[in-house]
Amino acid sequence: MTEPSIQQRFFPELTCFGCGPANPRGLRISSYPDDDGDGTTASFVPWPEHDNGLGYLNGGIIATLLDCHSATPVLMESERLGLMQPSDALAYVTAGIDVRYLRPTPLEGPLTVRARLASASEDVMAVDAEIWADGKLRATGASTWKRWRPRT
């Protein structure tokens, strides 16, 4: 991809372990809008250090991929609603995620991570995400994102 990822466009200085472009030791997930504009996709190649001890991808890394990639349709929708622009403060945070591990996820080759909004309002958004490898669905995540308003 020659264009900046969603993460680079909105938060180039973010140090989040999963999706922060500015975290040299993080996963640095790079997500892009789907061609149909209805969701987002990321490709991710696991590292040998992500091994669960049995030769497959660690469940915590899977959950992080699903959580951080789920933020991307939320970012795009919040921009569409006029609630934020790139480099603004984060408008939504994860309020919960239900991860389902459907089959072992291999460490070799690229994984495809997809996410789509299930519902959206100014206060709450829901996202459905999936991880695919070798043409098989490996894990899903259903997340809820709530509008973040710092309290003092």
* pLDDT in single tens digits along all 152 residues of the chain: 579 999 999 999 999 999 999 999 999 999 999 988 889 999 999 999 999 999 999 999 999 999 999 999 999 999 888 887 666 777 899 999 999 999 999 999 899 999 999 999 999 999 999 999 999 999 999 999 999 877 76
Q: Is residue 28 part of a domain?
A: no
CATH code of the domain covering residue 128:
3.10.129.10
0.95 exceeded by pTM: no
Task: Give the pair of three-digit tokens for residue 33.
Answer: 């809008």
Q: In this predicted structure, what is the pLDDT of residue 102?
A: 98
Q: Is residue 2 part of a domain?
A: no
Q: In this predicted structure, what is the pLDDT of residue 2?
A: 75
Q: In this predicted structure, what is the pLDDT of residue 36?
A: 87
Return all residues near 108 (Cβ < 8 A) that are at least 6 apart.
46
Q: In this predicted structure, what is the pLDDT of residue 75?
A: 93
Q: Is residue 58 part of a domain?
A: yes
Q: Is residue 143 part of a domain?
A: yes
CA distances from 101 to 123, 138, 143 (A): 29, 6, 15
Containing domain of residue 91, as a range?
36-147
105-116 b/e (C-beta count within 10 Å ≥ 16 → b): bebeeebebbbe
Q: What is the DSSP string of 10-48?
A: H-TT---TTT-TT-TTS----EEE-TTSS-EEEEE---G
Q: Is residue 18 part of a domain?
A: no
H helices of the chain, where? 6-10, 59-80
Q: In this predicted structure, what is the pLDDT of residue 72?
A: 96
Q: Is residue 98 part of a domain?
A: yes
Count the Cβ atoms, other than its own, within 10 Å of residue 27. 21
Q: Is residue 64 part of a domain?
A: yes
CA distances from 26 to 19, 102, 148, 150 (A): 7, 25, 24, 25
Nearest 5 degrees, angle CA 22-CA 43-CA 24?
20
What is the spatial order of strands in the sheet that 124-133 belongs to?
31-33, 40-44, 111-120, 124-133, 136-147, 92-101
Q: Is residue 26 part of a domain?
A: no
Q: In this predicted structure, what is the pLDDT of residue 87?
A: 65
What is the total count of domains within the chain? 1
